Amino acid sequence: MKFLLVAGARPNFMKIAPIMEAFRKRREDLKNLDVLLLHTGQHYDPKMSDGFFEDLHIPQPDINLGVGSGTHAQQTARVMIAFEEVCMRERPDWVLVVGDVNSTMACTITAKKLGIRVAHVEAGLRSWDMSMPEEINRLCTDVLADLLFTTDPIADANLRREGVAPEKIRFAGNTMIDTLLLHMDRARALPLPGGLRAGGFAVLTLHRPGNVDHRQTLCSLFGAIRDIAARIPVVFPAHPRTVGRLKEFGLLDQIQGENSIRLLDPLSYLPFIGLVTHSRMVLTDSGGIQEETTVLGVPCITMRPNTERPITCEIGTNILVGTDPDRIRAAAMAVLDGQTRPSSIPERWDGHAAERIVDALLA
């Protein structure tokens, strides 16, 4: 059996790492098992990629497509053209894709048109917001995949509602949490950036086009962030694209001139998780951080109108506030005042999701 595992962007690396390790352990007993790792190169900046491979002990990819950036259509097309050549050369029995980036959808469509079976890890997540490119990628991938591995029962229900045959759905758990639990102690042991003390700062991440590409929205968000920073220092590992927008809109100099908002270069996996672990709260528009903070027990304020991970709001530490600065301020002040609700960790977020996935594929 030959499996071709696809990773395209930073969020994919945390999800693919434990699957690679689970396959490695099985290969010791199954000599005819061939597993290849393909990196599409959708995230091509070394600051955004290389550190993740080192931190997570992911082997260098067997194949790197190096597609780089571009519009959604350009990036998707480049991946499909290059991936088709790989599939025709390697002839895998299964292509395994993770997450919801452009590479996920592009490789799924390409494989299916060549008659290759596809497994999707993190299937069934839905925001019900078609303005999100990731939602389109998720829908296209899930309707084509032969085996759909879900992270929680809500995702199972979404797939069944869309008419996916029950025998295709496997509730496996969350491979990103596999990675978190494996490396959490290493991350916690790393020193914090100078001047920071555990529990004495908030972490900010901001990168979604809907938040950073419009001057009024971004200025409004940072109005709320400044008010929060007046009570607790805010540490901001900034995505290069976000830094470009801050500079374009005249906000970068203002932020750099404020001692209470600390701008950092992008962090690789371990330093970032260490930062989050020791923080008082996280303010974000990201997806995966909503899950990681739920397991870490750190309050998470999500600055988006919706989330594809509602279980983190139902039983976890996530608070969905949209982009209204008043709601952002109110949620943050409530956390700082100790007004947090009880939370729990979702079922099967136990560090063994990758093992369940590999067992199902080999079966």
Active site residues: 207
Structure tokens at 141: 């991938």
Q: How far apart are CA 226 and CA 146, in angstroms?
A: 48
Report helix angle 175-189 to 288-296, nearest 10: 60
DSSP string, 11-53: HHHHHHHHHHHHHHHHHTT-TT-EEEEEE--SS--HHHHHHHH
SS3 content of the chain, % helix, strand, coil (to 5): 50, 15, 35
Q: How does DSSP assign 280-323, residue by residue?
A: SEEEE--SHHHHHHHHHT--EEE-SS--S-THHHHTSSEEE-TT
Region of 68 on the Ramachandran plot (φ > 0 left; ψ -120 to 50 alpha; else beta)? left
- CA atoms 319, 291, 273, 5: torsion sign: negative
Give the residue from 145, 73, 150 showing the smallest Cα distance to 112.
145
d(CA 25, CA 355): 10
